[in-house]
Amino acid sequence: MLFIPPDVRNIMAALSQRGHEAYIVGGCVRDSLLNTIPGDWDIATSATPDTVLSLLGGEATGLRYGTVTVPAGTSDVQVTTYRREGPYKDHRRPDYVEFVTDLKTDLARRDFTVNAMAAGMDGGVTDPFGGRGDLKNKLIRCVGDPDGRFYEDALRILRALRFASVLDFHIEDQTRDALLKHADTLRFLTKKKKSEEIGKLRRGAGAERVVAEYGEAMLKAGVPLSGNTP
C-alpha cells in the first residue's frame, strides 16, 4: 500500500464524496513504489474540469487538456480529467482530447508502463499494463504499440532516454527499436524541450551508459546527448 500525503488525500476525498473517482497517477506512483519521495503529485479523476474547479477551486492551467492546478499545503497538485486523445499531427500534442469516465482508458494513453499506474485512497495500485513488473526488471517499455507512441509524440523519445538514465533502467527491445526508428521526428521539438530533457538525462545515475548506447543515433538525428543542444 502506498502512502499518500494528507493534503493530496483531502483532494481525492473531496472528489470521492461527490461521487467522482480520483486516483494518484504517473510519476508519483512510480516513485513511491521505488521508495523515492515524489517531487510532484498528480490526480486523475472522472470529474470534468468544470466540476473540479467548482469543488476545489484552483486554476485552470491546461483546460483544453482537462488539467486544473489545485493548491495543497506548500505545493500544488495537478488534477486532470480522464481522457483519450485524438491524432497527433505535429508529433507533439494531440489535436483534441475527449473526456472519458474510465481509468484504464486514461492510463492506456500514457507513454511508458512505469508511468501508467494509479493508486486509490486505500493505497492499492491499479496496474493494467505491467508497470510493477517492469519496475522490478528495471525496464522502460511503451504502453501499447511503441511505433505509435513515438510517432505521436517525439518528446517521448527523449523521455525514454531520460528515464533510462535517471532510474538507471534499460530500454526494452521493441521500445528501443521504435525509438531509433522515429528519431528523425526529434526535429519537431523546440530547443527548450530538448534542452530540458537532455539536462535531466545528463544528471541521471545511468547517464554515461545511456549516452554510450544512444549518443551516436541521437547525434545523427541532430540531438547530441553531450555538448550543446541545437
Q: What are the φ/ψ torsions at residue 159 (nearest 5 degrees)?
A: -65, -40
Examine the domain organization and report whether 122 and 68 are in the same domain.
Answer: yes
Q: Domain of 23: which CATH number?
A: 3.30.460.10
- Residues 72 and 96 both lie in one domain: yes
Note whether 191 and 124 are same-domain residues.
no
Same domain? 99 vs 206? no
Where does a domain end: 111, 133, 155?
133
Contact residues for 173 (Cβ-Cβ < 8 A; gap 6+): none
- The C-alpha cell of 99 is what? 473526456
Residue 209 lies in a domain: yes
3-state helix, strand, coil in the chain (%, to 5): 45, 20, 35
Same domain, 205 and 120: no
Question: Do the domain assignments include residue 230?
Answer: no
| CATH number reported for the structural domain that contains residue 213 in this entry | 1.10.110.30
Q: Is residue 76 included in any domain, yes or no?
A: yes
100: number of CA atoms within 13 Å, CB side? 15
How many structural domains is the chain composed of? Answer: 2
* Whether 60 contacts 76, CB under 8 Å: no
Domain boundary among 84, 104, 133: 133
Is 16 a member of any domain?
yes
Structural domain contains residue 1: no
Q: Tell me which residue range forms the domain holding 19.
A: 6-133
Residues 128 and 144 in one domain: no
- Beta carbons within 10 angstroms of residue 174's beta carbon: 13
Residues 142, 125 share a domain: no
Q: Are residues 93 and 181 in the same domain?
A: no
pTM: 0.94
47 and 128 share one domain? yes
DSSP state letter for 142: B
Question: Cell numbers at residue 202, please?
Answer: 545528463
In order along its 230 residues, the chain shows pLDDT tens digits of: 799 999 999 999 999 999 999 999 999 999 999 999 999 999 999 999 999 999 999 999 887 889 999 998 778 999 999 999 998 988 988 888 999 999 999 999 999 999 999 999 999 999 999 999 999 999 999 999 999 999 999 999 999 999 999 999 999 999 999 999 999 999 999 999 999 999 999 999 999 999 999 999 999 999 999 866 55
